[in-house]
């Protein structure tokens, strides 16, 4: 997306609540990755359409996306996983500040290690993956088994700053991650059990549904 078009689309984004603007400013000041404005608006619209009763999020960070998802569909129950203890506590504090702790539960731990705890909560109607990029495929494989038949799986950052579009011989961290995301995308779009569309909004969002 060129800069002019992105600027135009940004002008269509509605004003965010004060609490959300505060979290966005905090994330920017502390270099905490959260969804970009166009990306979060797309996710919220998807939730309004699908109306998932139970959402599983991998990668809480400071709780921004969980709170915005609940804003989009206030009847939802959200279980979200965060492995960084500081981010976990920030998320808990932010969720409690909005009095949403009865609808958003945060688990402290690695999503690859808390599977049993997550599965004890039953089946989910949406899975949102926004954590360690190199583990996306494992997250998908593990938790897609715990979804309802009509569930939607959303993977964020699948265009990875545009770096997935060109392979590089450079072995720095970002190019290695871009390669892993590219491999995930290839695996995803050829998955025999899911239809996937990659939407070029925000940092790239993949939407997957069962065949």
Query: Which pLDDT belongs to residue 1?
Result: 66
Q: Answer whether 125's CB lies under 8 Å from 151's CB.
A: yes
2 is in an annotated binding site: no
Query: Which pLDDT belongs to residue 2?
Result: 75
141 is in an annotated binding site: no
Tell me the C-alpha distance between 114 and 173, whole Å: 27
Q: Are strands 77-82 and 104-108 parallel, antiparallel or unpaired?
A: parallel
The CATH number of the domain holding residue 7 is 3.40.50.150
65 is in an annotated binding site: yes
Number of domains within the chain: 1
Q: Per-residue pLDDT for the chain (211 aa), expressed as one digit of tens each?
A: 678 888 899 888 889 999 999 999 999 999 999 999 999 999 999 999 999 999 999 999 999 999 999 999 999 999 999 999 999 999 999 999 999 999 999 999 999 999 999 999 989 999 999 999 999 999 999 999 999 999 999 999 999 877 888 776 666 778 888 889 999 999 999 999 999 999 999 899 999 999 9
148 is in an annotated binding site: no
75 is in an annotated binding site: no
125 is in an annotated binding site: no
Query: Which pLDDT belongs to residue 172?
Result: 74
Domain span at residue 71 reads: 3-210
> How many CB atoms lie under 10 A from the CB of residue 13?
11
Using CA atoms, how far residue 93 sits from 12, 20, 25, 83, 157, in Å, is 31, 14, 16, 16, 26
111 is in an annotated binding site: yes
């Amino acid at each position: 997306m060129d800069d002019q078009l992105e600027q135009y689309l940004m002008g269509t984004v509605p004003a965010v609540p004060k609490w959300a603007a505060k979290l966005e400013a905090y994330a920017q000041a502390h270099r905490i990755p959260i969804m970009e404005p166009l990306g979060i608006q797309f996710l919220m619209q998807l939730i309004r359409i699908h109306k998932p009763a139970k959402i599983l999020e991998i990668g809480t960070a400071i709780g921004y996306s969980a709170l915005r998802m609940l804003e989009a569909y206030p009847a939802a129950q959200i279980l979200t996983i965060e492995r960084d203890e500081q981010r976990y506590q920030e998320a808990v504090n932010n969720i409690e500040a909005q009095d949403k702790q009865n609808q958003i539960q945060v688990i402290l731990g690695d999503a690859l290690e808390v599977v049993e705890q997550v599965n004890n909560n039953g089946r989910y109607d949406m899975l949102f993956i926004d954590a360690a990029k190199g583990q996306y495929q494992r997250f998908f494989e593990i938790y897609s088994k715990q979804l309802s038949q009509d569930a939607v799986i959303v993977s964020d950052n699948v265009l990875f700053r545009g770096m997935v579009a060109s392979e590089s011989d450079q072995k720095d961290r970002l190019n290695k991650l871009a390669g892993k995301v590219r491999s995930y995308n290839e695996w995803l779009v050829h998955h025999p059990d899911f239809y996937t569309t990659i939407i070029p909004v925000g940092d790239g969002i993949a939407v997957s549904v069962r065949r």
